[in-house]
């Protein structure tokens, strides 16, 4: 109906938004559940093991964010082309994207491998956790090309309106991660089941095992996603014609126009998150572990917002491709209101369940108490955080990434880090999270102002 220019009632628009949002939310939740499972399994090994992952987590987000930006530069083009019913050129962009993203991810992975050794020291981590932190990051960075393919294939499938396949496969990745971690993190042991003692073999690799398990799950699911995209997709099946995989300047230029501002934003924002880690690191191992666990737990709250944001990118991108500006605005408005509603509910749940969420991830009472306190601070920011996430997805669907990227980085550097550096010495980790809460509310407000001024529609 979007592509053919047919009129859509408000009920149809709401139904379509919900239908695309639900599997996208499931996909995002499964992704963060994988991190939650990693954190809880490693958390059983003690605070130092947890802190070693927490120390490098912001740097892993930086490299993952660059991969997201690279993939977005191509799947937004495909979304516009499918909106205008130009499937042949959409498949051409897909072919070129596979080559260019692989070149990019291999280059970035090489840089990551080179810095994996000294990185924990640069971040101010204690000597006791540096080895595990370095190994975790090294294994993560080796799996980056597979992660890049995962992001590209998922984005392409979503651009065609297929939210279900990437969602189900990301759930599978979560399940595989659990299985691999079960055997790789812990040593061989006997467990009691139905009154019987069962011997369970294990590698006993600890933090390193968690990284290997996640990498293996990522590789398997990336292969399945590529098969679904390149062989099974009705619109993007590459067997329909024999096009060239050779990159063209036009496709490259279009991708850079979308991805470069996002990439710069991810570098600067993750640099800010790394600076936050540097601010937290002197507060001690308990604070590092509590901060890491709280970030993972909070992700369960805001990932539904990213699911709605993904749906908004698809709907807005296809509406723009079909040159339906009125429908573009309506989908944007519906998506933003839906995202705020969902994350408001999630914020209430997080406030109530904060102690239980921390208890699942770590047996350390001090880490549990501090983590629950900061989670409850953050719960108040969730509605406005939702606004910034979904509005950003709307702007990405249009292909407007420069101004939103500048808004993001100015907000986090000028507001969050300034406040965090000021509050941390007196209030500790709670001060850092108060700064985060204030900044997220500020960011949501400025994104809503830009959305409702409607200049981005031009």
Query: 291-314 pLDDT, tens per residue?
Result: 878 887 887 787 788 888 888 888
Average pLDDT over residues 370-379: 91
Task: Supply the pTM of this predicted model.
Answer: 0.77
What pLDDT score was predicted for residue 308? 87
- Going by C-beta distance under 8 Å and a sequence separation of 6 or more, which residues neighbour residue 16? 8, 315
What pLDDT score was predicted for residue 32? 66
pLDDT tens-digit profile of 216-268? 999 999 999 999 999 999 999 998 888 889 999 999 999 998 888 888 877 77
Average pLDDT over residues 452-457: 87
pLDDT tens-digit profile of 129-175? 889 999 999 999 999 999 999 999 998 998 888 888 988 898 898 88
| DSSP characters over 35-75 | HHHHHHHHHTT-HHHHHHHHHHHHHHHHHHHHHHHHHHHHH
- Give φ, ψ of 189 to 5 degrees: -155, 170
Distances in whole angstroms, Cα of residue 371 to Cα of each of 36, 353, 422: 14, 12, 20
Distance CA 113, CA 104 (A): 14
- Going by C-beta distance under 8 Å and a sequence separation of 6 or more, which residues neighbour residue 88? 241, 243
- Which residues pair with residue 190 across a beta bridge? 199
CA atoms lying within 13 Å on the CB side of residue 79: 34
- 186-190, 209-213, 347-351, range with the lowest pLDDT: 186-190
Q: Read off the pLDDT band of 34 (50, 70, 90).
A: low
Tell me the pLDDT of the chain averaged across its residues: 87
> How many of the other CB atoms lie within 10 Å of CB of 434?
20
Average pLDDT over residues 277-304: 80
What pLDDT score was predicted for residue 28? 67
| DSSP characters over 383-424 | HHHHHHHHHHHHHHHHT--HHHHHHHHHHIIIIIIHHHHHHH
303 close to 319: Cβ distance less than 8 angstroms: no
Distance CA 171, CA 34 (A): 9
What pLDDT score was predicted for residue 326? 84
Whole-number percent of the chain with pLDDT over 70: 97
Smallest Cα–Cα separation from 334: which of 354, 353, 312?
Answer: 312
Average pLDDT over residues 13-42: 73
Distance CA 104, CA 101 (A): 5
What pLDDT score was predicted for residue 384? 94
What pLDDT score was predicted for residue 357? 84
Q: State the Cα torsion 266-267-268-273 to the nearest 10°.
A: 80
Distance CA 299, CA 318 (A): 28
Reply yes or no on whether the pLDDT at 39 is more than 70.
no
What pLDDT score was predicted for residue 399? 84
Beta strands in 53-183 (DSSP E): none
Q: Read off the pLDDT band of 365 (50, 70, 90).
A: confident
Q: State the Cα torsion 133-410-299-275 to the nearest 10°.
A: 20
- Going by C-beta distance under 8 Å and a sequence separation of 6 or more, which residues neighbour residue 398? 316, 317, 320, 328, 456, 457
Q: State the Cα torsion 225-398-21-335 to the nearest 10°.
A: 170
pLDDT tens-digit profile of 42-60? 777 777 777 788 788 778 8
Distance of CA 321 to the CA centre of its chain: 26
60 close to 137: Cβ distance less than 8 angstroms: yes
- Going by C-beta distance under 8 Å and a sequence separation of 6 or more, which residues neighbour residue 378? 294, 298, 350, 433, 436, 437, 440
340 close to 383: Cβ distance less than 8 angstroms: yes
Smallest Cα–Cα separation from 147: which of 89, 94, 216?
Answer: 216
- Give φ, ψ of 399 to 5 degrees: 95, 10
Smallest Cα–Cα separation from 155: which of 309, 30, 301, 22?
Answer: 309
94 close to 74: Cβ distance less than 8 angstroms: yes
75 close to 152: Cβ distance less than 8 angstroms: yes
Distance CA 258, CA 278 (A): 31
Smallest Cα–Cα separation from 42: which of 209, 192, 179, 180?
Answer: 209
């Amino acid at each position: 109906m979007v592509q053919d220019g047919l009129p859509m009632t408000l009920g149809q628009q709401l139904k379509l938004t919900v239908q695309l949002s639900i599997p996208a939310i499931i996909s995002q939740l499964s992704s963060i559940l994988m991190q939650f499972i990693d954190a809880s399994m490693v958390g059983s090994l003690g605070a130092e093991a947890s802190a070693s992952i927490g120390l490098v987590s912001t740097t892993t987000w930086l490299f993952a964010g660059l991969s997201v930006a690279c993939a977005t530069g191509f799947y937004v083009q495909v979304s516009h082309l499918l909106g205008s019913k130009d499937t042949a050129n959409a498949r051409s962009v897909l072919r070129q994207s596979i080559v260019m993203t692989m070149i990019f991810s291999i280059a970035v992975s090489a840089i990551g491998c080179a810095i994996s050794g000294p990185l924990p020291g640069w971040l101010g981590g204690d000597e006791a956790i540096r080895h595990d932190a370095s190994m975790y990051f090294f294994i993560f960075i080796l799996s980056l090309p597979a992660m890049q393919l995962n992001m590209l294939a998922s984005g392409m499938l979503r651009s065609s309106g297929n939210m279900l396949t990437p969602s189900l496969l990301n759930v599978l990745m979560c399940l595989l991660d659990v299985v691999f971690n079960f055997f790789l993190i812990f040593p061989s042991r006997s467990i009691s089941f139905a009154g019987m003692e069962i011997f369970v073999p294990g590698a006993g690799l600890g933090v390193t095992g968690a990284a290997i398990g996640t990498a293996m799950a990522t590789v398997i699911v990336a292969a399945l996603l590529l098969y679904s995209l390149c062989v099974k997709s009705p619109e993007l099946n590459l067997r329909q014609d024999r096009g060239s995989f050779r990159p063209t300047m036009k496709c490259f230029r279009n991708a850079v126009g979308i991805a470069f501002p996002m990439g710069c934003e991810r570098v600067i924002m993750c640099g800010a998150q790394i600076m936050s880690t540097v601010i937290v690191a002197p507060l001690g191992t308990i604070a590092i572990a509590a901060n890491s666990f709280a970030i993972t737990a909070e992700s369960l709250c805001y990932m539904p917002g990213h699911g709605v944001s993904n749906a908004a990118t698809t709907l807005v991108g296809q509406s723009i491709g079909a040159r339906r500006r009125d429908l573009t605005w309506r989908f944007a408005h519906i998506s933003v209101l839906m995202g705020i509603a969902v994350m408001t509910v999630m914020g209430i749940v997080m406030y109530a369940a904060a102690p239980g969420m921390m208890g699942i991830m770590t047996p350390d009472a001090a880490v549990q108490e501090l983590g629950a306190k900061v989670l409850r601070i953050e719960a108040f920011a969730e509605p406005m955080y939702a606004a910034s996430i979904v509005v950003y997805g709307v702007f990405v669907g249009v292909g407007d990434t420069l101004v939103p990227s500048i808004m993001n980085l100015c907000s986090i550097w000028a507001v969050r880090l300034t406040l965090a550096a000021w509050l941390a010495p007196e209030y500790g980790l709670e001060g850092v999270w108060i700064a985060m809460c204030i900044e997220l509310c500020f960011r949501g407000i400025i994104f809503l102002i830009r959305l409702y001024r409607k200049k981005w529609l031009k």
